[in-house]
Amino acid sequence: MLIPCPYCGPRDVSEFTYQGDANRTRPDPLSTDREVWDGYVYDRLNTAGDHREYWQHSGGCRSHLLVVRSTLTHAIVSAGFARDAATKPKKTRRKAGARP
Amino acid sequence: MAEYSALALLKNALTGNRDWKPAWCKPEPKPEYDVVVVGGGGHGLATAYYLAREHGITNIAVVEKGWLGSGNVGRNTTIVRSNYMLPANVRFYEHSMKLWENLSHELNYNVMFSQRGILNLAHTPSQADDFIRRGNAMLHDGADAVWLTPAEIAKKVRGLDVSAKARFPIVGGLFQPRAGTARHDAVAWGYARGADRLGVDILENCEVTGFLRDGDRVTGVATVRGEIRAKKVAIAVAGSTGRVMRLAGIDRLPIESHVLQAFVSESLKPFIDTVVTFGAGHLYVSQSDKGGLVFGGDIDGYNSYAQRGNLPVVEEVMSEMASLFPGLAPVRLLRSWGGIMDMSMDGSPIITTGPLPGMFLNSGWCYGGFKATPASGWCFAWTIAKDAPHPLNAAFTLDRFHRGAVIDEKGQGATPRLH
């Protein structure tokens, strides 16, 4: 399996570290909604087909990548920097310890 | 039905082997059953067998996408053991071990269960402490365990590098004498024949394409061979759990499917008469009756339904083998393959009622499902028949993740690729 790192080009999978399912969104750190956190930590889509997932090119440029890969054939559909796909934190977010 | 007595063997040998009867029938699906078991692997067949044998429910169909034994029951490395530490696990797997010990007799079918023992090698003093603690936990819960010194290990396993100059010196090993191996295909065939004789319909080439519903309630399955109604629908599909449950409208589960590779070497003269596991990496090896070394290591570590893996794990497993048994370096590999593992979030299984009314779920076996086959079927059958879990599987619920009651043998947390 070759992963096309957007910085280094196609490299063998042994250079990369799998960082798991990218279909989950980390809840707001201030959220105390137990169900939302339980779902984030434990529940997975477990897609059979094109799967969004994070990899790190730990044996190369160390970039964090967002890869779309078929779990049925291992064919890579796309690979980009994870930062490009990241959602920006909301501006209304409070600082830890701040009063509401 | 097929009988394998000495007389039958002789008679069929003399008549050109033309009169052997199939071990199980190939019936047409009936429109309705009391229980439909989805998945004709070891666990599904064992479930049907114990439902009929222990609970008198014989109006059962087992629906299987391919042919019997085409999935993980024919793809594993055949190891049977109960060397766990956490009480829920060791009690469940010890129950399985007791069923294994009587399985050939129970099924009147030789599953070639060979109690050759399993030896977990420890390579550091702290690992030895951990293994001894696990051995004590096993003894406490009724399993068997013995601590072996390097000298005793050298006598037991020839060819093993027990010298102090080994790359990972061996400081001792936890041995479970009652563990061993079994002929995995025979387990599927034996349960299939046993279930068939008790009146269970085994429907091969019968892929489930959807679920029949009455509101929330599951009332049957739609298959490529037509709709089959059922009072109870039991799911035992291992690596395909996500795909099958999605058909019932359940998108998210505490399970990820990963690929595990297994390997067989060319035939060698007998030299390992036990199962050996390597503690400084992850490797387990035994020798089959045909002489091939049957071995495997870690899962590949990324989500997969492909039933084949990649080369980095092959290289890692081979290097571990050469590190443990330097003399095996020139041995050639005969074949390798992959199977799809239903990795749960805590490394322990799920045998439960629900998650929908009329449905029962058996899943999350990670890569230890083969040894669990008898107890999994036994406990799942109990759960289906009585609509409530047996004490042995009461802890293996689906909601344990949300109640903080995880059974995390390795302490890895919700990272399925590490279990």
Q: How confident is the model at residue B419 (pLDDT cuts 50, 70, 90)?
A: confident
Say what the pLDDT of residue B354 is. 85
Contact B286, B265 (CB under 8 A): no
Collect all residues with Cβ–Cβ distance below 8 Å to B343 and sequence separation of at least 6: B255, B256, B257, B258, B299, B364, B366, B367, B416, B417, B419
Residue A39 corresponds to which amino acid? G
Contact A21, A53 (CB under 8 A): yes
Q: Do A72 and B252 touch (CB under 8 A)?
A: no
Domains delineated in chain A? 2-27+38-87 (3.30.2270.10)
Chain A CB within 8 Å of residue B252 CB: yes
A with B: how many residue pairs have Cβ under 8 Å apart?
A: 69
Q: Do B310 and A1 touch (CB under 8 A)?
A: yes
Structure tokens at B287: 């020798």
Please indicate, yes or no, whether the overall pTM of this predicted structure exceeds 0.90. Answer: yes
Chain A CB within 8 Å of residue B305 CB: yes
Structure confidence by residue, pLDDT tens digits, B197-214: 999 999 999 999 999 999
Give the chain B residue whose CA is nearest to the CA of A2.
B310
As a whole number of Å, the end-to-end CA separation of chain B is 42
**Distance to chain A for B396, nearest Cα, Å:** 15
Chain A CB within 8 Å of residue B405 CB: no
- By Cβ distance, the residue of B251, B315, B416 closest to A45 is B251
Contact B206, B223 (CB under 8 A): yes
Q: Do B242 and A46 touch (CB under 8 A)?
A: yes
Distance CA B111, CA B78 (A): 11
Residues in chain B: 419
**Distance to chain B for A100, nearest Cα, Å:** 29
Chain B residues in contact with A24 (beta carbon < 8 A): none
Give the chain A residue whose CA is nearest to the CA of B307.
A72
Structure confidence by residue, pLDDT tens digits, B208-253: 999 999 999 999 999 999 999 999 999 999 999 999 999 999 999 9
Whose CA is closest to B197, among B373, B40, B23, B51? B23
Q: Describe the crossing of helices B87-101 and B369-386 by its angle, rounded to 10 degrees.
A: 100
The pLDDT averaged over each successive group of 10 residues in chain A (100 residues) is 95 95 91 91 94 96 96 95 77 60
Say what the pLDDT of residue B383 is. 97
Q: Do B254 and A43 touch (CB under 8 A)?
A: yes
Give the chain B residue whose CA is nearest to the CA of A35.
B402
- B337-356 residues touching A, CB cutoff 8 A: 345
Whose CA is closest to B186, among B108, B84, B292? B108
Say what the pLDDT of residue A94 is. 60
Q: Do B252 and A39 touch (CB under 8 A)?
A: yes
Structure confidence by residue, pLDDT tens digits, B104-148: 999 999 999 999 999 999 999 999 999 999 999 999 999 999 999
ipTM of the complex: 0.87
Say what the pLDDT of residue B1 is. 46
Q: Do B252 and A43 touch (CB under 8 A)?
A: yes
Quote the strand ranges of B273-318, DSSP E.
275-278, 283-287, 292-303
Distance CA B333, CA B268 (A): 11
Contact A82, A64 (CB under 8 A): yes
Q: Do A20 and B252 touch (CB under 8 A)?
A: no
**Distance to chain B for A14, nearest Cα, Å:** 6
- By Cβ distance, the residue of A1, A35, A53 closest to B303 is A53
Chain A residues in contact with B305 (beta carbon < 8 A): 48, 71-72
**Distance to chain B for A91, nearest Cα, Å:** 30
- Over the range B169-194, which residues count as b (16 or more CB within 10 Å of their CB) and which as e? ebbbbbbbebbbbbbbbbbbbbbbbb
Phi-psi region of B364 (alpha: psi -120 to 50; beta: other; left: phi over 0): left
- By Cβ distance, the residue of A47, A53, A71 closest to B306 is A71
pLDDT at residue B291 is higher than 60 = yes
**Distance to chain A for B13, nearest Cα, Å:** 45
Q: Do A42 and B256 touch (CB under 8 A)?
A: no
Structure confidence by residue, pLDDT tens digits, B323-343: 999 899 999 999 999 999 999
Structure confidence by residue, pLDDT tens digits, B17-72: 888 888 899 999 999 999 999 999 999 999 999 999 999 999 999 999 999 989 99
The average pLDDT across B79-92 equals 95
**Distance to chain B for A31, nearest Cα, Å:** 16
